[in-house]
Amino acid sequence: MTGPSTPTKLGMNRGPSTPARGIGVDQRTLDLSGLNLTEKEDRSAIFEEAPKTRFARDKLLEEAKKVIDSEGTERKKEVSLVVIGHVDAGKSTLMGRMLYELGRLDEKTRLANERGSNKAGKSSFSWAWSLDGTTEERERGITMDIALQSMSTPHRHITILDAPGHKDFIPNMISGASQADCALLVVDAATGEFEAGFDRGGQTREHILLVRSLGVSQVVVAINKLDQVQWSKSRYDEICDFLRPFLVQSGFHPSKTRFVPVAAMQGVNLVSLDEDAAQELRQWYNGPTLADHLDQLDAPARDIYTPLRIPISNVFKGSTSGTAVSGRLCGGVVQVGERLRVLPGDETAAVKLIEVKDESVPWAAAGMNATLYLTSIDPVHLNIGNVLCPPTNLVPLATTFTARIIIFDIQIPITCGASIELFHHSRDVPATITNLVSTLDRASGSIIKKKPRVLTKGTSAEVQITLRTQSLSGPFVARPIPLESFSVNKDMGRILLRRGGETIGAGIVLEIFG
């Protein structure tokens, strides 16, 4: 594991083109630690900027640094949290109820949701309606896309990304998870339900692996619906004991993993354990509430000195003028008035306004989820999946690249030529594994075999990936996507591979060939 307590570092045994990286040692299966590293980045040569803005930029970085450093003392720490778990585990209900308990949901809206869901014959989804906002979601009682909310605990300001659990919407879940620092895993304690969610094909397992592969290293596990199992302590313990080793194997350090018993519908142990409904739980539990746990989440490192990268996760019309785009900053700082390049493509746009947590702000820094209102660009050039960056420091565009990947628990092995879907932030594109370069030792990263014939489950490998054309008609050659090697920018260098609706592997970008 690569938790701070065991910083074992090997490496240096790769070709000259591949920078040395630290690699955690763990022989167990599905160790993702090799993909999530905690080394410090090299900070140099980033002050280069067009002369016109240099002075302002220096001051901006100074200001940003000051504000970020005051996080935790003068200001609450900021974290973003993706809520994950199998379909119907109660993620949206939990968040809806939590918003209410923390005073983020007013009585009027609560009543409206209660009445509306009742009328639709879906009264049990009343709490979920705060997050399941579209007609289709409400009709079906299923979350289909990420809902964005925010809430405050005494010491934290938390951006909530409520993910869909249904497996058809994993692309949306991935888009949400790549904007998060921490995860809240919700599991259904009801008899048979936890098991269904954890079995092959269940999303509990897949979501855990996905968020870890995307760089999330802290997880709070809420064992939900305890009312359905008569508040049984043994059921609670059984589920914790089951999940604990799996989380470790998946690369979560035990010190960054928390468990908490809850009942979302009745609001038990979310913010307090005092209500009547919590009486039975109090018999055997007097530990922290869910809110207590969330209040202790670590804030992410904010690397404001790396070049600005904003992968766009949503595009919509601004209320007054311009086009709004949102996304999490993967490095750098952006300020109002700046011009940004939109990749892929030749267009640039001007930043007219920046919003963070629904407030207009003069700048936003790495790790923040921001909405930028852009002008002097035709909205047709702004699409989900595009990346914004400074015109003077572009993200490389890739159609062919090498990656180091770990293969998940798959049934059909990966051969050279396998068709896959490549996921990078909010974008997914068809691609082909064009070369199996080598299989690697999971622990040391050293080459086990060159040019393997197949990659089976649990192996770590270096492969070459080439994008495929996306449309039925049109050019043969695939359009490149903005991508960066992991050694340059971690958040821009993580990829996921899926096939036939199943995640088959995760990895990091090594080298881009164009």
User: What are the structure tokens assigned to 63, written together?
Assistant: 């200001």
Are residues 312 and 326 in contact, defined by beta-carbon separation less than 8 angstroms? yes
**CB 140, min distance to other proteins, A:** 7
Backbone angles phi, psi at 242, to 5 degrees: -70, -40
Are residues 491 and 393 in contact, defined by beta-carbon separation less than 8 angstroms? no
Are residues 247 and 260 in contact, defined by beta-carbon separation less than 8 angstroms? no
Are residues 91 and 143 in contact, defined by beta-carbon separation less than 8 angstroms? yes
Q: Where is 47: in which H helix or E strand?
A: none
Alpha-carbon span 174 to 178, nearest angstrom: 6
Q: How many residues bind ligand GTP (CB under 6 A)?
A: 23
Residue 321: which of Mg ion, other proteins, ligand GTP, none does it interact with, CB under 5 to 8 A by kind? none
User: What are the structure tokens assigned to 196, written together?
Assistant: 């269904």
74 vs 359 by CB, closer to other proteins: 359
Inter-CA distances, 9 with 21, 43, 58, 378, 444, Å: 8, 20, 35, 48, 9
282 vs 468 by CB, closer to other proteins: 468
85 vs 332 by CB, closer to Mg ion: 85
227 counts as binding ligand GTP under rule CB under 6 A: yes
175 vs 204 by CB, closer to other proteins: 175
User: What are the structure tokens assigned to 74, written together?
Assistant: 């003068």
Residue 93: which of Mg ion, other proteins, ligand GTP, none does it interact with, CB under 5 to 8 A by kind? ligand GTP
Q: Which residues contact 431 (CB under 8 A, 6 or more apart)?
A: 419, 420, 421, 422, 465, 466, 467, 468, 478
Q: Where in 127-217 does DSSP place strands (E)?
A: 147-152, 156-162, 182-188
**CB 90, min distance to ligand GTP, A:** 3
Alpha-carbon span 343 to 35, nearest angstrom: 25
Binds ligand GTP (CB under 6 A): choice among 164, 251, 307, 396:
164
Q: Which residues contact 122 (CB under 8 A, 6 or more apart)?
A: 138, 141
Cα dihedral 35, 38, 43, 48, rounded to 10, equals 50
160 counts as binding ligand GTP under rule CB under 6 A: no
**CB 297, min distance to Mg ion, A:** 21
228 vs 383 by CB, closer to other proteins: 383
Q: How far is CA 338 from the centre of its chain?
A: 27
Are residues 406 and 31 in contact, defined by beta-carbon separation less than 8 angstroms? yes
Residue recorded with tokens 């709070």: 220
Residue 365: which of other proteins, ligand GTP, Mg ion, none does it interact with, CB under 5 to 8 A by kind? none
Are residues 482 and 343 in contact, defined by beta-carbon separation less than 8 angstroms? yes
Alpha-carbon span 221 to 509, nearest angstrom: 30
In the complex, the residues that contact other proteins under the rule CB under 8 A are: 133-137, 140, 144-148, 161, 166, 168-169, 171-172, 313-317, 319, 324, 326, 355, 358, 371, 383-384, 411-413, 415-419, 421, 428-430, 432-434, 453-454, 456, 468-476, 498, 500-502
**CB 421, min distance to other proteins, A:** 5
| Stretch 263-292: interaction string toward ligand GTP, x if CB under 6 A | xxx---------------------------
In the complex, the residues that contact Mg ion under the rule CB under 5 A are: 91-92, 143
Are residues 81 and 87 in contact, defined by beta-carbon separation less than 8 angstroms? no
From the list 192-200, 220-228, 297-305, 329-337, the region that binds ligand GTP by CB under 6 A is 220-228
**CB 315, min distance to other proteins, A:** 6
Binds ligand GTP (CB under 6 A): choice among 33, 217, 224, 438:
224
Say which DSSP state 503 is in. E
92 vs 459 by CB, closer to Mg ion: 92
Considering only residues 50 to 89 of the shown chain, the ones binding ligand GTP according to CB under 6 A are 85, 87-89
From the list 43-51, 161-169, 317-325, 360-368, the region that binds ligand GTP by CB under 6 A is 161-169
187 counts as binding ligand GTP under rule CB under 6 A: no
192 vs 475 by CB, closer to other proteins: 475
Binding positions for ligand GTP, rule: CB under 6 A? 85, 87-93, 124-125, 128, 142-143, 164-166, 224-225, 227-228, 263-265
